[in-house]
Structure 1
């Protein structure tokens, strides 16, 4: 029984060590991607701001077109 317990303990120790190494590897990979992920987040924020500005420009353009059309209609009558 002691032999079986000892073997099981060694197996668990080996598995734990393997999982620890793999977790360290995953953490290191994530850390190496951290800067890239931060840049992606910043790009996303920048794109969102650009989309808002584009919408504002589109709204202003439509307002100007409406004013122009109104003035043109008034001028022609």
Structure 2
């Protein structure tokens, strides 16, 4: 997912879904469920202030959402 509005929202919702699903599927380990943001520029949410982008990055790190800057997916 990218680091714009849609990607950020989708990553957060996906992380919430995975956290809840792991409660019901005992064979799924939370540490094996990864959510990654691959963003082609050097900051999240480039449409808004740098400060809010950095705050989002900190929240994602605490939520175990990996953020990779200046990176694009080659294949999925």
The answer to whether TM tops 0.5 is no
Bigger proportion of residues as helix: 1
Greater Rg by CA: 1
* TM-score for both structures, normalised by structure 1: 0.28
* TM-score for both structures, normalised by structure 2: 0.29
